[in-house]
Structure 1
Amino acid sequence: MLPVRCCTRVCYVVQGFIMTSPYFVQNRSVITRSASQTAGCTPAASVRAKLTNRRRNENPVSPVPVKVEVEEKRVSELTSSSLPLSAGHELLHQATVQPKTESLPQYPHSRRRRQLKVEYEKDEGVSPMKTEHWEPPDWRKQLGFIREMRSGRDAPVDNMGAEKCYDPEAPAHVRRFQVLVSLMLSSQTKDQVTAAAMQKLRAHGCTLENILATDDEKLGKLIYPVGFWRNKVKYLKLTSAMLQKEFGGDIPNSVEGLVRLPGVGPKMAHLAMDIAWDQVSGIGVDTHVHRISNRLGWLTKPTKNPEETRKALEEWLPRDLWSEINWLLVGFGQQVCLPINPLCSVCLNQHSCPSAHKSSPEKRPKAGSPHSPSPTSSFKIKSEPEQEAALKYEMINKELQPTPVSPTRKRRLKSKVNS
């Protein structure tokens, strides 16, 4: 018979073994009942025998995987160091019941989660999404009405434009040179004046060699009275010399080469490419096309100069209309859509044009001119008829009003009456 002290030690050893061993965790209820039955002074041999018999009766426990044992060891260390006893048993129970097949990194809750960067693979076969194509409302209907109004082809541009100013019997390079000269002279000039100047030049000999051989004074008399004729004389001489030196006596066949010439702008270059070379490179926009495009609302926003209008029109207008739109709008601007006081009452687009029946603003006198009112004057200047009427009105009022009587005269009148 072992002493009581030894039995107590054996019980403590058995209890500690039960708390740490996974086998006894699964069979805690059995061990606890046996321990309660043998509480007190139970011999070590009887305890060992009972445990041996119970092991024989129970089914053998399947071996735990290696990773589960490693997980149990880690949990037991956490339990013994920082976690309470009950939490450690729960972790052990979870580890044995649901063994992990793959070890995943565990991050503390205080650490912020990384944001994922989503990247898309570029599909070479898929075309990029096209933006919505803008076009003005009712522009086809308006263009059809303009064609109907221009069906007579009786505008000045139809009979005296650049297409009618060259000599059709001249060689090809001479015809192209005459087209370029007529376009240079047409800037800031009416078609009637340009046609008359070209007629005199053709009678003199409108060739590259003759222009270079003619002195400036004679050339100025031939092209007078086109707008800015002195500057155009210089441009004609410089352009002719440049064509002879760099382009072999012919005009360039590209817009880039044409705009290099003195006095040639984008409008002239695109028209020269269309008329001389029969190539559509862009829209020729002059003052008429610029004005009418803004009046009809054919632009996403109002433009300030013809070059901006050209770029805005080319963004939406079909390319097969680029050659036609110039002579259509130029003739329409010469006959109906005039710069000042347009004839909206006879225009077929008066119901769809946003600028219809809006008279052009009158030209105001410049500041400081005799006709401009003084900035400090707030009264209205009356015309001569208004001044005469006001003067007559004042004279009539004076005659109707009684004349004031002095006090001495009143006394004299009273003395006369009393006497």
Structure 2
Amino acid sequence: MPPCSPTVCHAVQCLAMKSPYFMQSRSVVTRSGDQNAASSLRSKLTSRRRDVDPVSSVVVKVEEEEEEEVEARICEQRPSSASLSRGGCHPKTETSPLASHSRRKRQLKVEYDRDEGVAPVQTGHWEPPDWKKQLGYIREMRSGRDAPVDNMGAEKCYDSEAPAHVRRFQVLVSLMLSSQTKDQVTAAAMQKLRAHGCTVENILATDDEALGKLIYPVGFWKTKVKYLKRTSAMLQEVFSGDIPDSVEGLVSLPGVGPKMAHLAMDIAWDQVSGIGVDTHVHRISNRLGWLKKPTKNPEETRKALEEWLPRELWSEINWLLVGFGQQVCLPVSPLCSACLNQYSCPSAHKVSPTKRPKAGSPRSPNPTSSFTTKTEPEQESSVKHERTKKEPRPTPVSPTAQRTRLKSKVDH
């Protein structure tokens, strides 16, 4: 191999002296057998790096969140030749272990901030606004205690001189008859039953036809005859002639629902087990906005009221709202102009025209006069149907007969 020219040899020697990496690689190639010389050369190069580039040691101490910013500053401070020779600043396309570790920590932090498994914070106890003031006004309007429920309700229909188990049975019978029936009709039927003998034994000994005549005209009287017979038989066989002393036992009887069971527990056993919700309580609670959301049936209303209404008011609220619904907050055309809650009730004057209070209402000029209650929507439709049956319908007149009548009038 011919020797190189002096110019080429000088250039190679200059390049080898200026580039430490070239010197390291050269030493490794030419002195592959001498490990001690290679290690000493590496230690020298490392110490020289620290002397030349003192900023690189700062990179390790910088926190992971500020790594990219510090690397950008280091790239600006370093000369281009040093960066090429020592591999100082990596392009952003390359990912270092610290950068990837920092990204992983940020992802974990985002997942932690979601808090998907943590339950939402419970808010305070819900209650309708102004319910205490509205209840006070209802008490004021019911202070006369002259509604039908006050004089003819289940508390007034039993024989106070009868034995305790007979009194409790009569309370249950009056509640069963009161379903879809006005209090006046229920009270009249109970008077006839008490005169006949309203006991478990007498009800079982009376045939269905005679029992139907005694309770007529209560609503669905034929169905209630069957319920009375089956309930009396069950009381005699299972409960030793007395009514059950629990809501579960009462609702197991034929024809007895939750409303009757809670009222029977309150009146017969003097135990408050729940709110007795009938059509009046259901209607008025929705009109006053005493529920978180509107309910569709009395049982939903009962559960919604019991969530917030204090337990000491459960016994009072039934007869208060029932009498209020019989006199003022009527099912059809309520007397909003006579109601003390007309300025706080969300349903005021929406379905009721402004008119004078009826006789017998708490705001009427003559409160001692008689008061006639309106029926429920179901009873109202049945009453209208009966009236249309009783009223004679006009017979249709043919056009020929009409001409004959007109001609006879003209001739006369």
Does TM, normalized by the shorter one, top 0.5?
Answer: yes
Give the aligned residue type for 1:262: P
- Which runs of 5 or more residues in structure 2 are unaligned? 25-43, 57-78, 90-95, 355-376, 392-412
Aligned to 1:271: 263
Inter-partner Cα distance in structure 2 for 1:4 and 1:291: 113
CA distance 1:105–1:227, change in 2 (3 Å): same
Q: 1:187 to 1:113 in 2, by over 3 A?
A: same
Q: How many residues align?
A: 303
Change (3 A) 1:275 1:127: farther
Q: How does 1:175-324 map to 2 (within 5 A)?
A: 175-324=167-316
Question: Within 1, Cα distance between the matches of 2:342 and 2:99?
Answer: 77
Separation in 1, partners of 2:254, 2:160? 26
Deviating 4+ runs (over 6 angstroms): 111-114, 362-366
Aligned partners of 2:22 and 2:165: how far apart in 1?
107
Q: Quote the Cα distance in structure 2 between the aligned partners of 1:7 and 1:344.
A: 116
TM-fit CA distance, 1:333 = 2.0
Q: Equivalents in 2 of 1:60, 1:303: separation in Å?
A: 85
* Distance change in 2, residues 1:293/1:132 (3 Å): same
Q: What is the rounded CA distance, in whole Å, between the counterparts of 2:119 and 2:296 in structure 1?
A: 36
Q: 1:323 to 1:118 in 2, by over 3 A?
A: same
What code does the residue aligned with 2:253 have? L
Compare 112-121 and 140-149 and name the one that shifted more. 112-121
C-alpha distance in 2 between matches for 1:341 and 1:4: 120
* Aligned partner of residue 325 in structure 2, secondary structure: helix
Q: Summarize the Cα distance change of 1:13–1:246 in structure 2 as closer, same or farther, 3 Å threshold.
A: farther
Among 300, 321, 325, the alignment partner of 1:333 is 325
- Confirm or deny: 8 A CA contact 2:16 2:22 kept in the other structure: no
Partner of residue 404, structure 2: none
Distance 1:61-1:90 versus aligned 2 partners, 3 A rule: closer
- Structure 1 Cα separation of the partners of residues 245 and 111 of structure 2: 51
Are positions 1:104 and 2:104 aligned together?
Answer: no
Instruction: Give matches, 1:6-405, under 5 Å.
Output: 9=9, 12-13=12-13, 15-21=15-21, 62=47, 89-90=82-83, 92-93=85-86, 104=97, 115-116=107-108, 118-119=111-112, 129-131=121-123, 133-353=125-345, 354-356=347-349, 358-359=352-353
CA distance in 1, matches of 2:19, 2:156: 114
User: How far apart, CA to CA, are the structure 1 residues paired with 2:352 and 2:294?
Assistant: 17
Question: Percent identity at matched positions?
Answer: 71
Displacement after TM superposition at 1:167 (Å): 3.0
Give the SS at the match of 1:245: helix
Q: Which amino acid aligns with 1:15?
A: L
Q: CA deviation at 1:129?
A: 1.9
AA in 2 matched with 1:90: S
Please identify, of 222-231 and 304-313, the stretch whose mean Cα deviation from structure 2 is larger. 304-313
Counterpart residue number, 2:410: none
* AA partner of residue 201 (structure 1): L
- Separation (CA, whole Å) in 1 of partners of 2:334 and 2:13: 116
Distance (Å, rounded) in 1 between the aligned partners of 2:99 and 2:329: 80
Q: Match of 1:119, SS?
A: helix
**Aligned partners of 2:194 and 2:283: how far apart in 1?**
32
Q: 1:311 to 1:15 in 2, by over 3 A?
A: same
Inter-partner Cα distance in structure 1 for 2:209 and 2:46: 123
* Cα offset, 1:115, TM superposition: 4.2
- Partner residue, 2:403: none
CA distance change for structure 1 residues 276 and 121 in 2, over 3 Å: closer, same or farther?
A: farther
* Secondary structure of the corresponding residue to residue 111 of structure 2: coil
1:414 is matched with none
**Structure 1: which 5+ residue stretches go unaligned?**
25-58, 72-85, 97-102, 372-419
Residue of structure 2 equivalent to 1:382: none
Alpha-carbon deviation of 1:233?
0.6
Question: SS in structure 1 opposite 2:97?
Answer: coil
Greater Cα radius of gyration, structure 1 or 2: 1
How far, CA to CA, are the matches of 1:168 and 1:281 in structure 2?
23
Q: Is the 8 A contact 2:189 2:216 kept in 1?
A: yes
CA displacement at 1:242 relative to structure 2: 2.4
Counterpart Cα distance in 2 of 1:12 and 1:336: 114
TM-score, normalization: structure 1?
0.59
Alpha-carbon shift at residue 10 of structure 1 (Å): 6.2
Offset, 1:155: 1.9
Secondary structure of the residue that 1:188 maps to in structure 2? coil
AA in 2 matched with 1:168: S
> Which whole-Å deviations, capped at 9, do the CAs of 1:15-50 have from their partners, x for residues lacking one?
2253134999xxxxxxxxxxxxxxxxxxxxxxxxxx
| Pairwise CA distance, 1:230 | 1.1
Query: Is the 1:340–1:359 contact (alpha carbons within 8 Å) kept by the matching residues of 2?
Result: no
Report the AA paired with residue 352 of structure 2: K
2:252 alignment partner AA:
R
Q: CA RMSD in A?
A: 4.4
Q: Report the Cα offset of residue 288 of structure 1.
A: 1.9
TM-score (norm 2): 0.60
Whole-angstrom CA distance in 2 between matches of 1:230 and 1:281? 30
Q: Structure 1's 278 and 23: CA in aligned 2 closer, same or farther, altered over 3 A?
A: farther
Q: Are the equivalent residues in 1 in contact too, given 2:19–2:85 (CA < 8 A)? A: no
Task: Return closer, same or farther for 1:216/1:127 CA change in 2, 3 Å cut-off.
Answer: same
